[in-house]
Structure 1
């Protein structure tokens, strides 16, 4: 079983923000594979289904970004999954808008949601798909930037990157992380 976690902030006010691209990918996967993500469990909205013959849990933590690890820890403990079965999808300001970067492990890179996941799991050894949201303007506060929405020009790029992230998840399920890295990085 794979646990696929998209990071974001709950409530409608954050829908469509840069910080919520992880949620956008979960919705994309949910739609493509007909896996409703509406059960409240483990401090998340989750959905159970099958992708390419593999059981999956789709999850959107409802703890707010900075405490995402609490939900991830509960999911990992309850389903007794190995770290190799976890895929975390989130925004990255160091990548151009829509660019994907897949990693098998790594540091938090300043992302508070990932910092909390690393703290809760006690390791950096989990797969992640980072989606570029662009670098913040020099005179803008980081929180205001990541909680802001994409421009009209950026919206189709982000929708296409959510499609590519879904395809990358499928590649990881049918092959492995290295194959997804070769194909999508």
Structure 2
């Protein structure tokens, strides 16, 4: 049975739950709710296992805080003997319009401290990342307030459909492969 590690990035604690920076957690929570999965607290994070079409998806919400996500991801890749090509990291992206999705197989950290730590711990920029657009509609010098801010009313109304699309992408990643998934979902 093929195994995949799906790591949603976010920060632990109630004060971060509805923030833009926590979209990785939000997508995994949405998948877990749809499939009636339960997260259990384990070493370096909360985990749930999702079996779908002969694949096992290990859903990870690191408890290391966003900027130290690499430690948890490296630990669970090794423990579960999951090859690097079966890793998918879900993160927010300021450079994409709200709700847009982009899957890439490699790239820079783009100034994202969570991705920077993953790159440092894995010693490569070649890992799959699913970027969910949160847009960049903030005033100069207000980036931290924006990413750690809560969704607007308009964004909250649009999120359910975008979250459904996001979990379709996650399932496709494990069943159709990264290239087919990029062709199907990027820019949608």
Query: TM-score normalized by structure 1?
Result: 0.95
Q: How far apart, in 1, do the equivalents of 2:97 and 2:85 lie?
A: 27
Q: How far apart, in 2, do the equivalents of 1:124 and 1:155 lie?
A: 32
Please state how far the C-alpha of 1:31 moved relative to its aligned partner: 1.6
Contact 1:98 1:160 in 2 (8 A): no
- Listed as ranges, the gaps of 5+ residues in structure 2 are none
- Listed as ranges, the gaps of 5+ residues in structure 1 are none
Deviations 1:36-92 (A, max 9, x none): 11x222310001230222111111011111001111111111111110110111100
Local SS of the residue matching 2:21: helix
Q: How far apart, in 1, do the equivalents of 2:87 and 2:157 lie?
A: 28
Contact 1:52 1:170 in 2 (8 A): no
1:136-155 equivalent positions in 2, closer than 5 A: 136-155=137-156
Local SS of the residue matching 1:31: helix
Task: After the TM superposition, list the runs of 4 or more consecutive aligned residues in structure 1 that deviate by more than 3 angstroms.
Answer: none
Q: How far apart, in 2, do the equivalents of 1:135 and 1:2 lie?
A: 31
Q: How far apart, in 1, do the equivalents of 2:183 and 2:137 lie?
A: 28
Query: Which residue does 2:8 correspond to in 1?
Result: 6
Across the aligned residues of Structure 1 and Structure 2, the Cα RMSD in angstroms comes to 1.1
Local SS of the residue matching 1:87: strand
Query: Which residue does 1:167 correspond to in 2?
Result: 168
